[in-house]
Amino acid sequence: MNEREREGIVVTGVISILLLTWLGFFLHRSPLFPGSGIGAVFGIVGAVLMLLPLVYTVAKRIPFFNARITPLISMQSLMTMHVYAGIVGPLLAIIHTGHKFDSWLGIALTTVMLLVVVSGFVVRYLLTFVANDMKEKLALLQTARGDLDAAWGVIENAQAETSALRKAPRFMASLASLVNMRPASEPAAEVTRIADSVADLEYSVRMHEIFKFWFGWSLKLHIVLSVFLYLLLTLHIWAGVQYGLRWI
């Protein structure tokens, strides 16, 4: 198991916990927890972790910062930080809420935050899986088409060899009777089998192309949702300061 697969297993587990923690709203509510001391710690740490993914985004898209950040830390390490901070931060934020969703800002922030996590998971893992699987299917399709051409060549050669016998009616009648007593010739059966495989692979590739197209929109959706997330997070922090921190 490579590092990417291990990362996928860990991320899937954390996201599952995150979604289960959010569903705890139906079983548990603690209205005073968000404003308590420990609740504020969860909120602050979660907010900081949700801001860390910006480092990767800035380093990837702005050459000025890329030239100054990458000598200190590689893009791969930044991507790893982007992934883990992007799921642990929301998990701590859900704990911070105490399942108190009684304001439009809190509900909107939680909803967008979960959508960002899910869309990021799709972009990071599902889209990559579809792209890799599509490459394998294309390689298999190319091989199957070559086998189909070879099988057709065998049939064409067999037809060329028997064309000279068409002037011998009695012999051909005897040959036809023998052929009728046997199942379809092996070359014809092989062509049918390979043609079915080619058709299945072509259908699979077309479906992969459709999935890749729609999953490709997940990246754009992830970026747009991330912008809304940071706007809502800023409003949430401002509201917390504006109305006072009860734990002070």
Alpha-carbon gap, residue 126 to 132, rounded angstroms: 10
What is the per-residue pLDDT for 64? Answer: 86
The ranges assigned to domains in the chain are 3-125+219-242, 137-209
- Angle among Cα 54, 59, 62 to the nearest 5 degrees reads 105
**How confident is the model over 200-212, as pLDDT tens digits?**
777 777 776 777 7
What is the per-residue pLDDT for 144? Answer: 73
Mean pLDDT by 10 residues, the chain (248 residues): 71 82 73 80 92 89 86 87 90 86 83 90 75 72 73 65 50 47 56 74 74 74 90 88 60
Instruction: Look at the pTM and tell me if it is higher than 0.85.
Output: no
Cβ proximity of 69 and 55 under 8 Å: yes
**How confident is the model over 130-176, as pLDDT tens digits?**
766 677 777 777 777 777 677 676 666 666 555 544 544 544 444 44
Task: Give the chain as a DSSP string.
Answer: --HHHHHHHHHHHHHHHHHHHHHGGGT---TTSTTSHHHHHHHHHHHHHHHTHHHHHHHHH-HHHHHHHTTTS-HHHHHHHHHHHHHHHHHHHHHHHTT---SHHHHHHHHHHHHHHHHHHIIIIIHHHHHHHHHHHHHHHHHHHHHHHHHHHHHHHHHHHHGGGGG-HHHHHHHHHHHHHS-S-HHHHHHHHHHHHHHHHHHHHHHHHHHHHHHHHHHHHHHHHHHHHHHHHHHHHHHHHHS--TT-
